[in-house]
Amino acid sequence: MIKEAEEYADEDKAIKAKIDAKNQLENYIYQMKNSIEDKDKLAEKISDEDKSTIKDALTDAQDWVNANDDAETEDLEAKLKELQGKCDPIVAKVYKAQGGTGGAGAQEEGEEEFDEDL
């Protein structure tokens, strides 16, 4: 029984990594949607053009997730990086324009500071 469990340990780790990668991508999509639609976050601080760019990227990413239920961990991670590459520069630009740092993680970590500074 222990031998059998050891045999499946690597498979279990791979499945967990895939689930974690999918959850990270879906969470990013959800959080970014909330950020651009919430008046207390980015909704009134971001241009309509930038908001449209982000919405389109989020829709494309969500459609990709829905169509690729069997995607591998690497594919999910690549899609997240691609999405972040489209959204994060826009968010950083908004924070820089408002006097924030605009660095990596600014949306999550600096969001409360950003709101208090306004």
pLDDT confidence of residue 41: 85
For 12, the token pair is 């279990």
Q: Chain-wide mean pLDDT for the chain?
A: 84
Degrees to nearest 5, angle at CA 117 with 113 and 118:
125
**Number of structural domains, the chain?**
1
How does 42-64 read in b/e, with b if 16+ C-beta sit within 10 Å? beebbeeebbebbeebbeebbeb
Nearest to 88 by CA among 102, 109, 74: 102
pTM of the predicted protein model: 0.77
| Spatial distance between the Cα atoms of 46 and 95, rounded to a whole number of angstroms | 10
Q: What residues make up the domain containing 6?
A: 2-117
Write the pLDDT tens digit of every residue in 67-102: 999 999 999 999 999 999 999 999 999 888 887 654
